[in-house]
Structure 1
Amino acid sequence: MAADGANQGLERAASVLDAITRCGPSRVADIVTETGLGQSTVSRLLTSLEMLDYVVRDPESGTYRLGLIFLAMAGAALNEQSVFRHARQPGQHLAASLGLGVNVAIRRGGELYYLSNFEGALAPKSFTLMGHRSPLHSTALGKCLLAELSGDERRALLPDLEPFTVHTIVDHERLDEAVASVHRSGYSTEREELALGRSCVAAPIRNSEGDIVAAISISGPLSALDLTTRESEIAQRAIEVADSISTAMGYLGPRASTQHPHRA
């Protein structure tokens, strides 16, 4: 019983931290709404988490935000990611040379996780995407990450394709076509499928076995990326950098990975 109670306490504390992560600085009432926990339970958990420096309370607004201790945790977690280590410098150079945004992401279950993002002068952000999650079907990164799965596996993983804009792919037949194009051309595109006014081109990153383990994208406002006239140019840059990262991770090309055929 004690062990069950401890587990329940950990799960509740994790749900509080997750709510603050997703929503940003939050009041007790906000966290109650997000987690479904009682107010007294949330207040008690926040007091304990504050004592451990996991959260910090703003005395003026009464909101709670994540503590700086998570910076050390995030840094340690990122440095253990081989993809992050190999992609960080090429990603920085690519963003600087194009003036656009460059993102690197991996798949965890039915979502993509951003490992890093770099902003060029034409695609500034007031926040970092690092650690954020996004849907797979409505992003160029996600389409690359889904390219390692069969159609049946994609349908099992994502039974419902949520619409985010009028341009979002919401049926699996169209998603199959988008994923198939990754195998044909070596890259994927996204035009206003996740957010209006934004577009993106991504290419897959492979490990030494030839498996797609991550993807790198070039993104920005429609006017800055200008895929109508620059798709081929932008795609070639994404593929070149993705290939260089894959090579650094031990990928030797299709001949070296014939035992791991890619499944459309």
Structure 2
Amino acid sequence: MTKATSANAPAAGAPETDAQDTAQAGLVTPVMRALKLLRYVADGGSTANLSDVGRRIGVNRVTVMRLVETLQYEGVLEPLPHGGHRLGLGFLTLAASALAGEDHLATARRVLTRVTSETGLSSYLTVLDGAQVRYLLCETPALPLVSNIRAGSRVTAHLTAPGRSLLAHLGTERRRALLGPEPLAAATAQSARTYAALDAQLARDREAGCAWSQDGFEAGIDACAAAVLDAHGRPLAALSVAGPRALVGTDSVTRERTARVVKSGAVDLAVLLADAPAFLAAAERA
């Protein structure tokens, strides 16, 4: 992190924060600073040391102090007994009111739209349905359709990247109960036919935080998926992207960027779909 040069001066990293903000025509810099502070607090950051907060979000200490005072006055932040702040009831009720007025799947689609925009790939929301995954939502870029997967499609779970990302967060006995006896179903030569092979594959998926598939279900189609987990680490759904290898890319930098977007989208969906019963009820109606 860069250090502030003085209490009233912008942080040394200002070229990528305040200076950059003001260069964006039409953007309101104080609002952007307030949102940076709110994201910092929402992610668990402490406001006990305002100088440290300023260094972390690229805003000078005096501005941070004024932001905290203003947001606290408006009920968006509230002080903690032993120092620092948390999101206030004013913010939480505003967010709750906004979510209450939206259908869970409509809210989820907004995340898929963003993921497709950032990756240029088709994005999908799936849920586990017995031994299969069911595709609830699909967002596609303005490209010729390359996959046979549509909203409503059902595929044996362990044959797809989203299915593997969900199975990776189930216990061994649950997986076996769902998938049945060996040999396991296969779609390509890469498909795991034994539980030993599948368990090893799922262990790698868990470690990576996402599941990659190369020609795993459809020839020429690569996919990346991450599980959407509830507060107890149980899989609610999976977010995935898929596309032809030429578009997905084969270099590590491109794939890491794609995986980062997918994992970030899964985290956002975990927050938006936190009301699991309502989400699952919406999924049943889809």
TM-score range, shorter chain: 0.5 to 0.7
Matched, 1:119 2:119: no
Q: Which runs of 5+ in 1 are unaligned?
A: 1-79, 252-264
Contact 1:203 1:216 in 2 (8 A): yes
The answer to which of 205-214 and 107-116 deviates more is: 205-214
Q: 1:167 to 1:224 in 2, by over 3 A?
A: same
Matched, 1:181 2:204: yes
Distance 2:147 2:249 in 1: 22
Contact 2:241 2:262 in 1 (8 A): yes
1:196 counterpart (203, 210, 219): 219
1:108 counterpart (124, 129, 149): 129
Contact 1:106 1:115 in 2 (8 A): yes
Match of 1:97 in 2: 118
Shift, 1:182, TM fit: 2.9
Contact 1:200 1:218 in 2 (8 A): yes
Shift, 1:162, TM fit: 1.4
Q: 1:127 to 1:156 in 2, by over 3 A?
A: closer
Match of 1:154 in 2: 175
Contact 1:168 1:192 in 2 (8 A): no
Contact 1:99 1:122 in 2 (8 A): no
Distance 2:107 2:225 in 1: 17
Contact 2:210 2:259 in 1 (8 A): yes
SS at 1:137's partner residue? helix
Contact 1:123 1:221 in 2 (8 A): no
Shift, 1:123, TM fit: 6.0
Runs of 4+ off more than 4 Å: 125-128
The superposition leaves residues 20-61 of structure 1 with CA deviations (integer Å, 9 ceiling, x where unpaired) of xxxxxxxxxxxxxxxxxxxxxxxxxxxxxxxxxxxxxxxxxx
Shift, 1:108, TM fit: 0.8
Distance 1:128 1:112 in 2: 11
Contact 1:122 1:220 in 2 (8 A): no
Question: What RMSD in Å do the two structures reach over aligned CA positions?
Answer: 2.4
Q: Bigger radius of gyration, 1 or 2?
A: 2
Q: 1:215 to 1:224 in 2, by over 3 A?
A: same
The superposition leaves residues 225-256 of structure 1 with CA deviations (integer Å, 9 ceiling, x where unpaired) of 124432211111100011011122339xxxxx
Q: Which runs of 5+ in 2 are unaligned?
A: 1-101, 276-286
Match of 1:13 in 2: none
Matched, 1:213 2:229: no
SS at 1:165's partner residue? coil
Matched, 1:131 2:155: no
